[in-house]
Amino acid sequence: MSELVATVFSGMIIDENERAYYVQKNGVTFRLPKSEGEHKLGELVEGFGYQNQNQDYCMTTTVPLIGKGRFSWAEVKEVRRDLGVFVDIGLPDKDIAVSLDELPLMRELWPKKGDRLMVELRTDEKNRIWAGIADEKLFQAMAQKATIEEKNKNITGTIYRIKLAGSFLITDDQHLAFIHPSERFQEPRLGEIVHGRVIGVRPDGILNVSLKPRAHESISDDALMLIAYLERASEHKMPYTDKSSPEDIKQLFGISKGQFKRALGHLMKLRMIEQKDGYTTLIKKSN
């Protein structure tokens, strides 16, 4: 049975009901939802086999990018302290677990919901499907060598490895990068998407990155005051924006509207807040 789980195969439709077709392969029957397309009895259909949350054998004709030996990014959907984390590989009714054995010993460095991991699929002796995290060699193989022109550029990347020496990431431009502990305010999580700047390019094409702001980007006292207010506010938002009246701003914050707008603009540039529907909302806490 293990050769059919987490793999792509062709099977014959032997039965159907109002909601699903039933596809048989090697004596095992898989449920294929009719919502995926029309088929006929006796037709051969190709799809991806798996067991859903109820341990029923299912098939989907929408083959996930991730498979056995096929790596891709998967978003973290749930964190279970007793099991690990669960990632979305594109199945309609099942997220796949990443074992806690593959996660950092420090729980605070585990991925959180919305983070992402580069994974492939694996099966164990009980035919259970697991997501396995890519190792260093895969990232080295997929990376592009950076040039000196990258220095001082802003980057966005995903943390893929955590060590005492620092954090390793791959940028959206497929460059490998390293963050020394002195170049961050706190240690990023595995799978966290971070924003930083290139402070150096090594001879081997690996970037040295800082997560600290440039000197001219340091947060002002006015901006810090707004962050403190938002961190304590209900739902981390306030009904004050750059459209608010100078009188309301002066009464609540004790600063001019010009100061208020400069602080808002700075925080939006740092992607710490957003303005929408008459509210200013905190989206990233200050370190």
One-letter-per-residue 3-state SS of 52-96 = CCCCCEEEECCCCCCECCECEEEEEEEEECCCEEEEECCCCCCCE
Residue 196 pLDDT grade (very low, low, confident, very high; cuts 50, 70, 90): very high
One domain for residues 197 and 250: no
**112-126, 148-162, 165-179, 216-230: lowest mean pLDDT where?**
216-230
Report the DSSP beta bridge partners of residue 136. none
Query: Does residue 278 form part of some domain?
Result: yes
Is 145 found in the same domain as 121?
no
Domain, as residue range, for 236: 216-282
Angle between helices 257-269 and 246-253 (to 10 degrees): 80
Query: What pLDDT score does 179 carry?
Result: 97
Task: Reply yes or no on whether the pLDDT at 2 is more than 60.
Answer: no
Is the predicted pLDDT of residue 210 greater than 80, yes or no?
yes
**Which CATH number fits the domain that encloses residue 25?**
2.40.50.330
Lowest mean pLDDT among 128-132, 175-179, 202-206, 214-218: 214-218
Total-model pTM? 0.73
- Give the CA radius of gyration of the chain: 24
Q: Return the structure tokens found at 261.
A: 């707008």
Does 106 fall in a domain? yes
* Statement to judge: residues 180 and 227 lie in one domain: no
Residue 286: pLDDT band with limits 50, 70, 90:
low
Do both 119 and 160 map to the same domain? no
| Residue where one domain finishes, among candidates 155, 184, 210 | 210
- Cα distances (Å, whole numbers) of residue 252 to 119, 210, 246: 49, 35, 10
* Averaged confidence pLDDT in the chain: 92
Q: Judging by DSSP bridges, how do beta strands 207-210 and 176-179 pair with one another?
A: parallel
Rounded-to-integer distance, Cα 97 and Cα 85, Å = 6
Region 175-198 average pLDDT? 94
Do the domain assignments include residue 147? Answer: yes
At residue 49, the 3 state secondary structure works out as strand
For 91-133, the pLDDT digits (tens) are 988 999 999 999 999 999 999 999 999 999 999 888 889 999 9
Mean pLDDT of 198-226: 84
Mean of the pLDDT values across residues 36-64? 93
Q: Pick from 150, 146, 154: which is nearest to 205 by CA?
A: 146
Residue 212 · residue 222 · CB < 8 Å: no
pLDDT in tens, 228-249: 889 888 889 999 999 999 999 9
Q: Is the pLDDT of residue 287 over 60?
A: no
Q: How confident is the model at residue 61 (pLDDT cuts 50, 70, 90)?
A: very high
Let me know if 277 is exposed, middle or buried by CB neighbors in 10 A (0-12, 13-18, 19+).
exposed
Alpha-carbon gap, residue 193 to 195, rounded angstroms: 7
> Mind listing the pLDDT tens digit for each residue in 212-225?
876 556 667 888 88
The answer to whether residue 65 sits within a structural domain is no
Do 88 and 51 have their domain in common? Answer: no
Residues 124 and 166 in one domain: no
SS3 236: helix
On whether both 206 and 235 belong to a single domain, the answer is no
Please indicate, yes or no, if residue 66 is contained in any of the structural domains: no
Q: How confident is the model at residue 70 (pLDDT cuts 50, 70, 90)?
A: very high
Nearest to 281 by CA among 237, 244, 247: 237
| Residue after which a domain boundary falls, among 210, 227, 261 | 210
Give the model's pLDDT for residue 3: 78
Beta-carbon contacts of 258 under 8 Å, excluding residues fewer than 6 positions away, are none
Task: Let me know whether 127 and 79 are in one domain.
Answer: yes
Question: Domain containing 190 — which CATH number?
Answer: 2.40.50.140
Q: Is residue 256 over pLDDT 60?
A: yes
- When divided into structural domains, the chain yields a total of 4
Judge if 143 and 205 occupy the same domain. Answer: yes
pLDDT at residue number 218:
63
The answer on 145 and 104 residing in a single domain is: no
CB atoms near residue 49 (< 10 Å): 23
3-state secondary structure of 215: helix
Chosen domain end from 187, 210, 233? 210
Q: Which amino acid is at 234?
A: S
Q: What was the pLDDT predicted at 212?
A: 81
Rounded to the nearest 5°, which phi and psi values hold at 266? -65, -45
40 in any annotated domain: yes
- Across the range 168-183, mean pLDDT stands at 96
